[in-house]
Chains A and B, each alone.
Chain A
Amino acid sequence: RKEVEQDPGPFNVPEGATVAFNCTYSNSASQSFFWYRQDCRKEPKLLMSVYSSGNEDGRFTAQLNRASQYISLLIRDSKLSDSATYLCVVPSQDSGYALNFGKGTSLLVTP
């Protein structure tokens, strides 16, 4: 299994919809997980950190299932500005604090 695998996407959803992204990881020892957002030709920006079973921040909810080594990101009431690539990120098994990035899931929210 690759270290981090994500839904391939792209996801095209209308404004106001709820959309969920899934991510599986291979490092069972990981204690922290992250969702980053990356806009086209820009650097990734931290969206959410997950250290326990989940985290919620406004319209965004991340859930963690350690038994299945699975993380999800739920976006409610999608906005046009949510259009971006969402990266699932898990600390590397081999490189200290270095991060392993998933390939990202592209989201396009349409009017």
Chain B
Amino acid sequence: GAVVSQHPSRVICKSGTSVKIECRSLDFQATTMFWYRQFPKKSLMLMATSNEGSKATYEQGVEKDKFLINHASLTLSTLTVTSAHPEDSSFYICSALGSTSGPDTQYFGPGTRLTVL
């Protein structure tokens, strides 16, 4: 149990295009999901907290108008990178808060590797 999927797993796009990444909790409901970003050889950095039915909470330095988050259902959150630029190339990972192994265990999706040319 406690499986989280992400789609797509990899995307290559031209500068200026928008990219949507989906994060789904497959066998549990997640009122809270998180979006992280990881640059090469760096730690995961939290971008935003996504709550079902309400606006996302963004971390300092993350532009909410550039990284649009929608959490319209208890099993789906989407991250849209608008007008992507090469510096947005990174590994984007979502996680969903579940209670299978503990009250605050997070289950991670497999990640989406974004390359902006």
Contact = CB atoms under 8 A, between A and B. Distances in A.
Contacts of B59: 95
B97 A97 contact: yes
B46 A98 contact: yes
Contacts, number: 58
Interface of A: 32, 34, 41-46, 49, 51, 87, 91-92, 95-104
Contacts of A102: 43
Interface string B62-105: 00000000000000000000000000000101010100011111
A32 B57 contact: no
A101 B43 CA distance: 6
B108 A49 contact: no
Interface string B34-54: 101000001111100100000
Contacts of B43: 87, 101-104
Interface of B: 32, 34, 36, 42-46, 49, 57, 59, 91, 93, 95, 97, 101-111, 113
B109 A32 contact: no
Interface of A is mostly: loop
29 contacts: A32-B103, A32-B104, A34-B105, A41-B113, A43-B109, A43-B110, A44-B44, A44-B93, A45-B108, A46-B105, A46-B106, A46-B107, A49-B102, A87-B44, A91-B104, A95-B46, A95-B49, A96-B32, A96-B49, A97-B34, A97-B106, A98-B49, A99-B34, A99-B44, A99-B46, A99-B95, A100-B46, A101-B44, A104-B43
Nearest to B110: A43
A44 B109 CA distance: 9
A100 B45 CA distance: 8
Interface centre among A51, A91, A99, A103 (most CB of B within 10 A): A99
A5 to B, nearest CB: 11
A97 to B, nearest CB: 5
Given A32-B103, A100-B46, 17 more contacts: A42-B110, A42-B111, A43-B93, A43-B108, A43-B109, A44-B108, A45-B108, A46-B105, A49-B105, A91-B104, A92-B46, A95-B57, A96-B32, A96-B49, A97-B97, A98-B49, A99-B44
